[in-house]
Amino acid sequence: MTHTPTLPGFRRILLKLSGEVLMGNQAYGIDTDFVASLAAEVKAARDTGLELCLVIGGGNIFRGISGAAKGMDRAQADYMGMLATIMNALAMQSALEKLGVDTRVQSAIQMDAVCEPVIRRRAERHLQKGRVVIFAAGVGAPYFTTDSGAALRAAEMQCDALLKGTSVDGVYSADPKKDPNARRFDTIDYDTVLAENLQVMDASAVALCRDNSIPIVVFSIREPGNLAKVLAGDGIRTIVKKEH
Q: Which residues bind ligand UDP (CB under 6 A)?
A: 18-20, 57-59, 63-65, 78, 81-82, 84-85, 138-139, 141-142, 144-149
State the minimum distance, in angstroms, from the CB of residue 79 to ligand UDP.
Answer: 7
Whose Cβ is closer to ligand UDP: residue 139's or residue 230's? Answer: 139
Q: List all residues 6 or more positions away from 128 whose beta carbon is below 8 Å from its beta carbon.
A: 51
DSSP-H helix ranges across the chain: 32-47, 64-69, 74-98, 120-128, 146-156, 190-195, 203-211, 226-231
Q: Can you tell me the distance from the alpha carbon of 6 to that of 11, in angstroms, rounded to the nearest whole number?
A: 8
CB burial of residue 139 (10 Å; 0-12, 13-18, 19+) = buried
Q: List all residues 6 or more positions away from 72 whose beta carbon is below 8 Å from its beta carbon.
A: none
State the minimum distance, in angstroms, from the CB of residue 233 to ligand UDP.
Answer: 25
Whose Cβ is closer to ligand UDP: residue 142's or residue 215's? Answer: 142
Q: Can you tell me the distance from the alpha carbon of 25 to that of 36, in angstroms, rounded to the nearest whole number?
A: 14
State the minimum distance, in angstroms, from the CB of residue 199 to ligand UDP.
Answer: 12
**Residue least distant from ligand UDP (Cβ):** 57
State the minimum distance, in angstroms, from the CB of residue 49 to ligand UDP.
Answer: 27
Whose Cβ is closer to ligand UDP: residue 12's or residue 74's? Answer: 74
Whose Cβ is closer to ligand UDP: residue 59's or residue 215's? Answer: 59
